[in-house]
Amino acid sequence: MDYQTYRRLCAEEGKVTINEPILSGLAWQTKEKSDAQWIVKNFPGVPFARYEKYHEKLYDLRDAGQALGRAHNYEVKEADLSLRPRYILKRQGGNINGGSRVRYYATTVFDSQQKNIVIESKVFGFTWWVLGDSPYGLTSTSTCFDPHAIEKIKKSFESRE
């Protein structure tokens, strides 16, 4: 894969697509604690985000606001299984066509009640230097993404309130 292919993928597919507005006041679920933190920090209409720790226990993470000396504060409790998250956030990524220079990163938000994808986001990365070919063995990567993605998703929340 070459740089022109990377630029073409960025232009054609590197974007956020909102298929339906997100309903405010409903919980989300994800696999990673860091994603749960990202969700409740960026989308104030989300009451909590559920994640699984070590593939064993489920936890509900809530925004606890700003804390002195910390960027953000979260409240984490064992999951209340009587409350079911509606939206499921999934992330995946990998090399394109088995190459090592162009990678993709995809984020999908699935509505578990309506059984459809409500948000899709694709980001592509291009590695300029392959590990070992550059001075000091360092790599350099360019990425293309929609810099307004979070604002677009927030507006999707606002349009339903």
The residue extents of the domains of the chain are 1-19+86-161, 27-85
> Residue 44: its pLDDT value, please?
83
Query: What pTM was computed for the model?
Result: 0.81
| Angstrom distance (rounded) from CA 110 to CA 88 | 5
The predicted-structure confidence for 91-133, as pLDDT tens digits, reads as follows 999 888 766 678 889 999 999 999 999 999 999 888 876 555 5
* Distance separating the N- and C-terminal Cα atoms of the chain: 44
8-27 b/e with 16+ CB inside 10 Å = b? ebbeeebbbebeebbbbebb
The predicted-structure confidence for 13-59, as pLDDT tens digits, reads as follows 889 999 998 998 999 999 999 999 999 988 888 999 999 987 789 99
Cα 49 to the chain's mean position, in Å? 13
> Residue 161: its pLDDT value, please?
45
Cα 89 to the chain's mean position, in Å? 7
| Angstrom distance (rounded) from CA 30 to CA 37 | 10
| Angstrom distance (rounded) from CA 121 to CA 107 | 5
Whether the per-residue pLDDT at 159 is higher than 60: the answer is no
Which structure tokens are listed for 12?
A: 């054609």
